Amino acid sequence: MPSLKDLTRRDVLAGIGAMTCTLALPFPASGRSRDSGVVRESTEKSLREHASRRGLLYGAAAGKAILTGNKALADLFVEQCGIVVPENDLKFKHVHPKPDEYDFSKADWLLDFAESHDMKMRGHTLVCHEFLPDWFDDVVNESKAQRRMEEHLTRVMHHFAGKLHSWDVVNEPLEAESWREDGLRDSPWLKLLGPDYIEKAFHIARDADKEALLCWNENRIQNEDPPSTRKRTLFLKWLRDLKRRNVPIDAIGIESHLTADGSPVAGENFKRFLREVADLGLKLLITEMDVADDSRPKDVAVRDRAVAQLYYHYLHTVLKQKNVIAVLNWGLSNGTTWLAQSKARADAAPVRPLPFDDQMNPTLAFKAIARAFDKAPGR
Ligand code: XIL
């Protein structure tokens, strides 16, 4: 593996040093005029370009509200991303707020934003244990569950049919600590429809959109602890079974919410898992990558180095697999990240999990991600 020490030494000098004297890191020579008030050097490629040189898509999660409320962030997405994914706007409770009422306005806005800036969009998410509306429990009982699932998936997918790159058809159906032999999470869908809800969802999805890649998106796959190892084993069992029975699944999403606490990730067992997924003919997407820094000291240089090292190690490992087609961060700028709430630091310092700081300047994580793309084999 190329030396991480190398990355650290060189980049701390070139990156952090430059940042602390307000001269930003080298930045994309996109030639686009920017009127967001953020002034930067424009001498380097965007993450989109670094990725596309290796045949990869790079992108990030956002939503109508944060992009319309922050011009500098919207400009950054246009510069850096080849694909966007709605962080929340397509979740069940947002897109289907009443039993017979759908609201596509926010996701439509995002699709229009993507299309008008030559970006793709992916769909997140259709069937999940979370993000259900208040009306769900009152309306969806066992006799109606199948019809309700069909109706929701068909309506939402038809609305975007032929326009989205991929869809997270099922989201986090497994749970590392599940007491069940099949590893399924105790989700309302499981209670209502039994374990078949997964294949039902994929069949409905394929009927509704023939073009989008249909994905099983899963969390906590990359760790080396026993629950994650068990989860990978059970996940593979599921994937083999679905493929054997010709269930229309095209890809898996590995969320990749990483934690810079020094615990081992992306080890031998994980690499074997990736190869076995490839052998099944499935594509892989890194769908929600970020790095929690709440266990690291407050010092920004120390924290940024730990975050960048983990990004590099993780991506360098994952991208060796040529069936990985896309890498998405869960947010792009540290100014708008879900980790500000879910992994807030005890010292109240702002978290720094993403490739750009809150002023839209690239952090050391940017360099680590760019370098991992550069080192990846082409596809
Ligand atoms: C998160 C969003 O980022 C938050 O804004 C929201 O409040 C909760 O959901 N795995 C997923 C995503 O699949 O949908 C989650 O997104 C993060 C974890």
Compute the distance between CA of residue 272 and CA of residue 265 in angstroms, rounded to an integer.
13
Nearest-atom index, ligand 1, CA of 217? 13
Residue with tokens 């309302």: 188
Of 172, 199, 218, 255, the catalytic one is 172
Helix, coil or strand: residue 88: coil
Number of H helices, E strands in the chain: 16, 10
Q: Which residue has the higher pLDDT, 96 or 17?
A: 96
Q: What is the pLDDT of residue 231?
A: 97
Query: How far apart, in whole angstroms, are the C-alpha atoms of residue 20 and residue 154?
Result: 51
Residue 44: the pLDDT is: 81
Q: pLDDT at residue 296 above 70? A: yes
Instruction: Provide the β-strand partners of residue 124.
Output: 168
Active site (annotated) includes residue 211: no
> Average pLDDT in the 160-165 region?
98
Ligand 1, atom 7: closest residue by C-alpha: 338
The chain-wide mean pLDDT, for the chain, equals: 91
The dihedrals phi and psi of 186, each to the nearest 5 degrees, come to -80, 80
Calculate how far, in angstroms, residue 47's C-alpha sits from the geometric centre of ligand 1.
23
How many angstroms is it from 339 CA to the middle of ligand 1? 10
Confidence check: pLDDT of 270 > 60: yes
Q: What does the alpha-carbon distance between residue 196 and residue 215 come to, in Å, rounded to a whole number? A: 16
Compute, in angstroms, the gap from residue 87 CA to the centroid of ligand 1. Answer: 6
288 is catalytic: yes
Measured from CB, residues less than 6 Å from any atom of ligand 1 are 87-88, 171, 219, 255, 288, 338
Mean pLDDT calculated for residue range 160-184: 97
| CA nearest ligand 1 atom 3, residue | 338
pLDDT grade, residue 73 (50/70/90)?
very high
The partner residues of 157 in beta bridges, in order of sequence, read: none
In the prediction, which pLDDT does 192 show? 97
| Model confidence pLDDT, tens digit, residues 351-367 | 999 999 999 999 999 99
Instruction: Report CA(86)–ligand 1 centroid distance (Å).
Output: 10
Ligand 1 pocket test, candidate residues 257, 288, 290, most atoms within 8 A of CB: 288
Q: What is the DSSP letter of 356?
A: B
With a CB cutoff of 8 Å and minimum separation 6, the contacts of 41 are: 23, 24, 25, 26, 27
